[in-house]
Every structure is written in structure tokens, then in C-alpha cells.
Amino acid sequence: MKQNSFEHRHQAEWQDFARRLDALERGRPGADSRHFPAAYRRLCRHLALAEERGYSSRLVDQLQQLALRGHRQFYRHRNPLGARCLGFLLGGFPRLVREEWRPVLAASLLFYGCLLGMGLLVYLFPELVYSLLDPGQVAQMEAMYDPDASRLGRFGERSSAADWMMFGYYVMNNFGIAFQTFAGGLLFGLGSLFFLLINGLSIGAVAGHLSDIGYTGTFWPFVIGHGAFELTAITLAGAAGLKLGWALCAPGRLRRSEALRQAAERSVRLVAGVLFLLLIAAFVEAYWSSMTFPGAALKYTVGILLWLLVAAYFLLAGRPRHAPE
């Protein structure tokens, strides 16, 4: 069937579906709302046919937007909150990150570029560490990761109560950094850029300095595990902030307030996923990273596996499964 005939046959049905969607989104479902699930499934079928037959991107995009709005309403009324949250974490969050690849890429290049660049510079020119950290902070970091320090301190085997207390501390500290980085986007993106820059430089300076003085055996085994979740979360929080900033700087044909509202809808969902990552990071840091008995080799192995797990999650999770013909 040609595209014109396909559109002519189903256009009235799509317009009726859009009308039902508008009513549901306003919280005013009509008497015919009970037929919405069947109409939603028919629309999904039409979208699949349009994609299979290679119809124009204009038509496919139109049906995709209707299907996305329909999906939100369909599962909002059928799924409990817990199921929606689980669905978001298992598929919606990584899919959203892939869709927002531009701010994610920009935040990643800035954050990891500063981290790696500053780490290398401090390793080659050790005195540069004092350009970012004062002597007291440097001494504190050295004491925390001193291989000769007593194991009753930072790397000692803690009690379960102490682990729980540290878990709470890590959660509050990491949440604060993430919200700071995200909210900075309201300053036309400058705040998010600043916090990505300063966090990347500071972490890189600490890593370069501790590596330079020979504390690699205590520092890297400690950070490699939870770093997969924590650093990724900081980057995504920055990406969410940059999206807000871009909406303010370049709203296009929309009013600035409307562009910000649309950007905030997706940015807030990104931040919800960031909080999930930070909870995992805090748990790993409190209950795994601080352990001393596993040994460096096992810590590195687990850390590499966790980084691969995070990469696989964002690259593969939430991708649609093609139904059989």
C-alpha cells in the first residue's frame, strides 16, 4: 500500500487517538476512554507497518510521538508505581541516556578530559597539585591512603554500624554534588560547566598526586569499584544541567519558559537515574571498597567488571525486541 492511501485510510483514527490523549493528559478521560488500550495497540501496529514499509520520516515521527504519549498514559493507569520505577531503571533510563547523547557526550568530554589531563600533569609535575588543593587537603589525602597507616583507620575492617553510617555519609555527599552540578544548569549552563570542570580537575589532581608518591596500592583498588557508578553519575548530572542551560540559551521558536519546561521534563528523569547510580556507588564504597582482605588483584578484577557492567547497561538495556514477522 502506498503511503498516501495508508494515511488517507487511518488519518481520522489517528486524530481521534490524539484527541483521547489530550483528554487523558489533562486528567479528563471521556466516556470512550475504555477503548483506549485497543486504540493504542492499533496505533503501535500502524507504526510498525510504517517503519517496515519505509514510509517517510515525517509520518514515522508523527506516529512515534503518538505512540510515546500513548505508552505513558497506558502504563500510567495500568502499572503501579513500583512497576513503573522498575521499568524506568531496567529500560527507560538507559534509553533516555542514549537519546540525550549530545549533552552526555559534552559532559563526558569535559569531565573525563579534565580528570585525565590534570592527573597526567600532576603526575609529571607534582607541584601542580597545590594549584587546586591546599597543603592541608593534600596531607589529609596522603594520610587516608598511606600504605603504612594503621588498618584500624580508613582501610580497617569496620563494624556493620560503621558501614551503615558511612553509607549514609556517602549518599548525602554524592547527592549534594549531583544536585549542585544539575542545578547549575539554570545559570545558562555555566554552573554545570563549572562543577564538571572543578570536579574533574580535583579528582585528577588527587589521583595524579597519590600515584606519583607511590600510593597506587591503596588508592586505585579502593576507588576502582564504586568509581564506575559515581563518576558516571556525576557526568550524567552534568549532562542534565547542560540540557537545561541549552534550553535557556537556544530556545528556538519556543518561549524560553516553554523550552525550559520541556528540557526539565527529560532532565529530571535523568537525575532520577543519577540518584539510582549514586545509591549503588555509596553501597559499593561502604561495603566493598573499604574491605582490605580481598587483595588488590581481586579489587581490580571486580572494578573492571563493574565498569563493563555499567557500559553494557547504557549501551544495551532498553533496546526494543523485534517481534517475529
Q: Which of 169, 173, 172, 161 is nearest to 199 (CA)?
A: 173
Length of the chain: 325
Rounded Cα distance between 117 and 139, Å, is 22
Residue % of the chain over a pLDDT of 90: 59
CB 84 within 8 A of CB 216: no
Query: DSSP label at 282?
Result: H
Q: What is the pLDDT of residue 152?
A: 39
Residue 123 above 90 pLDDT? yes
Question: Mutual orientation of helices 57-78 and 3-25 as an angle, nearest 10°?
Answer: 30
Instruction: Name the grid cell of 218.
Output: 591503596
- Describe the crossing of helices 216-249 and 296-316 by its angle, rounded to 10 degrees: 20
Average pLDDT (186-213) is 96
Split at pLDDT 50, 70, 90, the class of 323 is very low
Burial 249-260 (b: 16+ CB within 10 A, else e): eebeeeeeeebb
**Averaged pLDDT for residues 88-109:** 95
Domain boundaries, the chain: 3-78, 93-316
Residue-wise pLDDT for 40-96, tens only, equals 889 899 999 988 888 888 888 889 988 888 887 776 655 566 777 888 888 999 999
For the whole model, what pTM was predicted? 0.73
What is the overall mean pLDDT for the chain?
88
As given in the structure block, the three cell numbers for residue 31 are 466516556
Question: If pLDDT is split at 50, 70 and 90, which confidence band does 153 have?
Answer: very low
Task: Specify the residue for cell string 519556543.
Answer: 254
For 292, the grid coordinates are 582490605
